[in-house]
Chain A
């Protein structure tokens, strides 16, 4: 091999990517960890703080923001799993029985996820507007007009519906691909043995979709925990109305850049480390649990 002959050249090829990635991805993550153990006066390091910044996260006023935000992320994940991914699976199964127009359908289902989440957020803000929005105008005659994003009780479910509308094509495509990989002989054999199509689905198709389900679950988790632009467009950086759509990403942004706290760097770095540990740790845990037998 040309490269094997001159060993050193392999490293030369690696240098640009190594430097770029180390400086702008890895180094900030590690430095953020060290930031979290210092107390700060503005941008000046004021002294070693030990675990004080972490204790600050658990102190009353901050915890009152942290817990609801974390809860909203968790609800988004649960909602995504129950609504978006269940629908995605149903659509994939339904599509597998359709011959004509399959590609066109897939494209139409998937198109919204190409659109910028910020655009999606603003678009739905306008569409769902109580005064001039077309959605309530259509639902009004049916007596189904709702405050949608305007009411703290309906705001988060509305966010889940909007997320579903945008992303349902994604689990659908993954499940479609997985379904396509299952040999039709399995179902045929079961049917010859007298299994109903529901039994075939539950006993044969579903177990074989486990790896795809693991992938969809993990990606949904990462997506739900990292949501930012969509909720920013729908409810601003405070998660309006009344913090009903506040999530970890918005809380981190406010703490780091809009809190006016002298120790903003300390607190927000501790929050970043907490989020990192929680998201990355949970992802690894999900990987282990879901892929054990898959």
Chain B
């Protein structure tokens, strides 16, 4: 019918959607003097990256971020997995209440509790410590994780628990040997979904971290922007380096999730 205008419009917007990111990557590969000369142009070299990695503390920020994100995601997934198991599969007093208690956190603006959180962590000696951030992030991931994993546990066949019980397996053995292998696809979903917001989070470290050597990427990026204000090439390189891990995750995770899903189907 009017297929052509629609196509033109859609591809046009797609180009508009991608263009700023493309400019970011291209500019990160050009010296600052050239960018100031002509805002748009072709790449010439990797010098900006070397500078951002060594002169700015990007290497430190990236390592700090990686440690905090991996620990947070693992801790949050582990405790949520344990909680979701009885919530999805057992009948016990207060189950509905517990489920509501956990899931209510999905709509609570939790960051508004940051001031008491700061003093709580201070009393534990965990301000300015990666461990403090990990506890905050892991706790914050509980509502979504419990919600997704409970739904997943609920739809696994009931015969599984009965068979395991007949074989004499206790709750922990059933959980470990029977359930865990089956929930792997949901676990991958949970891990991927938490990775992005935690990697990107700026608010908590802005308030909870002071020591330059312990900063994660987002707050590090604000320092970096002050420091290299007039060195645009290096700034663009910093922006690209902050973004790349997410692109890598996206590529890897798509494969992982598909693999997890098909593995589940073969059983």
A87, chain B: closest CB distance, angstroms:
8
| Interchain CB contact under 8 A, A13 and B119 | no
Stretch with Cβ within 8 A of A (4 or more), from B8-16, B44-52, B258-266: B8-16
Contacts of A144 in B (CB 8 A): none
Check B102 against A132 for contact (C-beta < 8 Å): no
Complex partner residue of A20 from B79, B93, B113, B243, CB under 8 angstroms: B79
Nearest-CB residue, chain B, relative to A87: B13
Query: How many interface residues does A have (CB within 8 Å)?
Result: 80
Nearest-neighbour CB distance to chain A for B81, whole angstroms, equals: 9
B68-102 contacts to A (CB < 8 Å): 75, 78-80, 82-83, 85-87, 89-93, 95, 98, 102
Q: Is A77 an interface residue (CB 8 A)?
A: no
Knowing A3-B90, A28-B120, say if A112 contacts B21 (CB, 8 Å): yes
* Given A127-B23, A279-B109: A228 touches B239 (CB 8 Å cut-off): no
Q: In the complex, which of the residues A24, A253, A272 has the most CB atoms of chain B within 10 Å of its own CB atom?
A: A24
Per the 8 Å Cβ criterion, residues 130-177 of B in contact with A are 135-136, 138-140, 142-143, 146, 158, 161-162, 164-165, 169-172, 174-175
By the criterion CB–CB under 8 Å, are B200 and A17 in contact? no
Task: Pick the residue among B7, B75, B112, B139 that contacts A32 (CB under 8 A).
Answer: B112
Given contacts A21-B139, A118-B200, contact A272 B10 (CB under 8 A): no
B218 near A116: Cβ-Cβ < 8 Å: yes
Chain A residue nearest in CB terms to B88: A3
Q: How far is the CA of A130 from the CA of B197 in the complex (A)?
A: 32
Q: Is the CB of B113 within 8 A of A31?
A: yes
Cα–Cα distance between A272 and B222 once the two chains are bound (Å): 25
Cβ of A119 and Cβ of B250 under 8 Å apart? no
Please judge, given known A-B contacts A114-B246, A134-B39, whether A98 and B17 are in contact too, CB under 8 Å.
Answer: no
Q: Provide the bound-state CA to CA distance between A2 and B23, in Å.
A: 57
Does B56 belong to the interface (CB within 8 Å)?
A: no
Contacts of B6 in A (CB 8 A): 94, 97-98
Measured CB to CB, the nearest residue on chain B to A226 is B109
For residue A269, which residue of chain B has the nearest CB? B115
CB closest chain-B residue, reference A168: B17
List the B side residues contacting A122 at CB < 8 Å: 221, 225, 235, 239
A256 to chain B, nearest CB (A): 6
| Cβ-based interface call for B232 (8 A) | yes
Cα distance, A268 to B221, chains bound together (Å): 26
Partner of A123, one of B113, B171, B172, B239: B239
Interface residue? A16 (CB, 8 A)? yes
Given the contacts A1-B158, A3-B89, A13-B171, A28 and B218 also touching, CB distance less than 8 Å: no
Query: Are the CB atoms of A91 and B86 closer together than 8 Å?
Result: no
- In the complex, are the beta carbons of B82 and A14 less than 8 A apart? yes
B54 at interface, CB cutoff 8 A: no
Q: Please measure, in the bound complex, the distance between the C-alpha atom of A26 and the C-alpha atom of B140, giving whole angstroms.
A: 10
Q: Are A280 and B203 in contact (CB under 8 A)?
A: no
Q: Contact check, B35 vs A132: say whether CB atoms are below 8 A apart.
A: yes
* A29 contacts B by Cβ under 8 Å: yes
Tell me the bound Cα distance from A213 to B242 in angstroms.
33
Residue B252 at the chain A interface, CB threshold 8 Å: no
Chain A residues, CB < 8 A from B196:
114
Q: In the complex, A26→B83 CA distance in Å?
A: 17
C-alpha gap A222/B232 in the complex (Å)? 34
Residues 228-259 of B contacting A (Cβ, < 8 Å):
232, 235-236, 239, 242-243, 246-247, 250
B220 to chain A, nearest CB (A): 10
Say yes or no: A3 contacts B113, CB within 8 Å.
Answer: no
Does chain B have a CB within 8 A of A4? yes
Question: Which of A66-74, A103-111, A239-247 touches B?
Answer: A103-111
Q: 9 closest A-B pairs (Cβ-Cβ)?
A: A28-B113, A3-B90, A24-B139, A134-B39, A17-B83, A31-B116, A10-B86, A28-B116, A108-B14
- Where the two chains meet, the residues of A that have a C-beta atom closer than 8 Å to any C-beta of B are 1-7, 9-11, 13-14, 16-18, 20-21, 23-29, 31-32, 35, 43, 91, 94-95, 97-98, 101, 104-105, 108-109, 111-112, 114-119, 122-124, 126-127, 132-134, 137-138, 165, 168-169, 222, 225-226, 228-229, 232-233, 252-253, 256-257, 265, 268-269, 272-273, 275-276, 279-280, 283
Known: A225-B109, A226-B111. 17 other contacts (CB 8 A): A1-B89, A13-B175, A16-B82, A17-B102, A23-B120, A27-B113, A28-B114, A35-B116, A94-B9, A105-B10, A116-B243, A119-B221, A126-B27, A137-B39, A256-B114, A269-B115, A272-B115
The 8 listed contacts between A and B (C-beta, < 8 Å) are A1-B158, A3-B86, A7-B92, A105-B14, A115-B243, A132-B39, A222-B107, A268-B115
Chain B residues packing against A (C-beta within 8 Å):
1, 3, 6-7, 9-11, 13-14, 16-18, 20-21, 23-24, 27, 35-36, 39-40, 75, 78-80, 82-83, 85-87, 89-93, 95, 98, 102, 105, 107-117, 119-120, 135-136, 138-140, 142-143, 146, 158, 161-162, 164-165, 169-172, 174-175, 196, 199-200, 202-203, 206-207, 218, 221-222, 225, 232, 235-236, 239, 242-243, 246-247, 250
